[in-house]
Structure 1
């Protein structure tokens, strides 16, 4: 019985020595940024020696986090937060908030920062992160409100641009139409003149008269008319007195 008791004591002493050795080695590995080795030691402490205090979980979570394994880090930060040690709990909750913020889960992040501050009001990092995420959330809300206005502005600009194009096209079509109408009027006028000329020539052909001869006759008629007018001008305007001779 005594031998068994002594054996148990010796085993416990050996376990304590091994636990201390593994813990110190893990801390050295962590400081040297050999995170995979520190993870191995912390897992041996938990699985083989049933060392499940909040410090081991917190350090294991830090090692996973710095190894970019956020899933394992989140799991162990959650275990570390289950403690009465307010400072360790505050740090664990702060880190959970950081992971959520990195995933753009801002509402979840700000809740964890709030819990971290409640656990330890002296945690300045959590207070800073809380205010930072709060501003990000506010900015997101403002952007959501601005987006409909931006969309309306884009639609209005697009509509104005289309209206301008339609107006320009309409003006161009109107100018083209007026140009065509002017061209048609000129053609009609020319055709009318050609028609008059052709009509005169056809008439002259019917009476077997050349155009030159017709012009000579027209000039003669004009001269006779002029002479007649001159004669009218020379006639006296007074009425003839029947009591006097003609001379």
Structure 2
């Protein structure tokens, strides 16, 4: 607290002395500028700020050049806030050359912050204030070219991104088409497989029906064959019986042949033995004729043919 009071008292005393002694103020101002210049030469920027602050704030010395030098010292110490404020004060000066330099530095600070539009605007103002400021012109042209290149790169990147997006979209559309085509082919294959299965199933059913039909026909034929066999056995038995009956009848005929018949055979010049042979042949023909009639009667009619 005492130190603060001492500083305030010292400042008030200095102001009073300076107001009373303007010659002493000028001497102190010159001494402060010399100390600041020496510190700037030695690269002691903190001392530079200290001496110029005493000159500008304590002595209330108006000097755009001193303000610009103090701003440079802030800039070298990377104190961007104080340097920016100091350059802004110089930019309001009526001195065109100093104003142009301050605007140049404001442009540099803006470019460092990547505020390229503001930087370009400060460079333009610096050239308007002093068209001979070659540093401002160089920085303006360089930044403008850099911004154009950046804009072109951004445009190229956008075009590249667009091309990539288009290619990706085309690939997605192609993949979707392939997927749809594959799905369609799979569906067609599945339908064809189902149709083949259905056809195979139908063929199996038809084959089964045909087999059943064939088995039924074979069974029917077997039954017919059995019937025919039984009929043949029955016919053979009848033939044997008829033959036996014929023999018996022949013997009976031989025994019963009357003298008149014998006389007639003798007139026809036919022996009894030949007459018996002719009679036997007729009997056999008669027997065969009856057998054929029985076969025709027992044979089943084809269901696919008409009755007539």
Superimposed CA distance per residue, residues 100-153 of structure 1 (whole angstroms, 9 cap, x where no aligned partner)? 233333343333323322333332111101212332444466567667756654
Task: Please give the alpha-carbon distance, in whole angstroms, between the structure 2 residues aligned to 1:177 and 1:89.
Answer: 81
Report how many aligned residue pairs link the two structures. Answer: 206
Q: Identify which range, 195-204 or 143-152, moves more after superposition.
A: 143-152
Gaps of 5+ in 2: 1-16, 223-308
Task: Please give the alpha-carbon distance, in whole angstroms, between the structure 1 residues aligned to 2:70 and 2:176.
Answer: 69
Give the TM-score taking structure 2 as reference length.
0.56
Greater share of residues in helix: 2
Select 1:58's aligned residue among 65, 68, 72: 68
Query: 8 Å contact 2:49–2:73 — kept in the other structure?
Result: yes
TM-aligned CA deviation for residue 199 of structure 1: 1.3
Select 2:118's aligned residue among 108, 111, 122: 108
| Structure 1 residue runs of 4 or more that deviate by more than 6 Å after TM superposition | 7-10, 143-148
Q: What does residue 73 of structure 1 align with?
A: 83
Query: 8 Å contact 1:93–1:116 — kept in the other structure?
Result: yes
TM-aligned CA deviation for residue 58 of structure 1: 0.2
Q: What does residue 191 of structure 1 align with?
A: 201
Task: Please give the alpha-carbon distance, in whole angstroms, between the structure 2 residues aligned to 1:66 and 1:210.
Answer: 123
Task: Please give the alpha-carbon distance, in whole angstroms, between the structure 2 residues aligned to 1:153 and 1:41.
Answer: 61
- Please tell me the root mean square deviation across aligned C-alpha atoms, in Å: 3.3
Q: What does residue 47 of structure 1 align with?
A: 57
Give the TM-score taking structure 1 as reference length.
0.67
Larger Rg, first or second structure (1 or 2): 2
Select 1:203's aligned residue among 213, 222, 226: 213
Q: What does residue 180 of structure 2 align with?
A: 170
Superimposed CA distance per residue, residues 187-210 of structure 1 (whole angstroms, 9 cap, x where no aligned partner)? 233223322332133224445639
More relative contact order, 1 or 2 (CA 8 Å, 6+ apart):
1
TM-aligned CA deviation for residue 173 of structure 1: 0.7
TM-aligned CA deviation for residue 172 of structure 1: 1.0
Task: Please give the alpha-carbon distance, in whole angstroms, between the structure 2 residues aligned to 1:100 and 1:8.
Answer: 40
Is 1:127 matched with 2:137? yes
Superimposed CA distance per residue, residues 21-46 of structure 1 (whole angstroms, 9 cap, x where no aligned partner)? 33233233334433233212211111
Select 1:160's aligned residue among 155, 170, 174: 170
Query: 8 Å contact 2:68–2:87 — kept in the other structure?
Result: yes
Rate the CA distance shift 1:104–1:210 in 2: closer, same or farther, 3 A: farther
Query: 8 Å contact 2:36–2:51 — kept in the other structure?
Result: yes
Rate the CA distance shift 1:191–1:88 in 2: closer, same or farther, 3 A: same
SS in 2 for 1:209: helix
TM-aligned CA deviation for residue 76 of structure 1: 1.2
Query: 8 Å contact 2:67–2:90 — kept in the other structure?
Result: yes
Gaps of 5+ in 1: 1-6, 214-247
Rate the CA distance shift 1:129–1:8 in 2: closer, same or farther, 3 A: closer
SS in 1 for 2:219: coil
Rate the CA distance shift 1:210–1:153 in 2: closer, same or farther, 3 A: farther
Q: Identify which range, 116-125 or 144-153, moves more after superposition.
A: 144-153
SS in 2 for 1:117: helix
Task: Please give the alpha-carbon distance, in whole angstroms, between the structure 2 residues aligned to 1:9 and 1:120.
Answer: 37
TM-aligned CA deviation for residue 169 of structure 1: 0.5
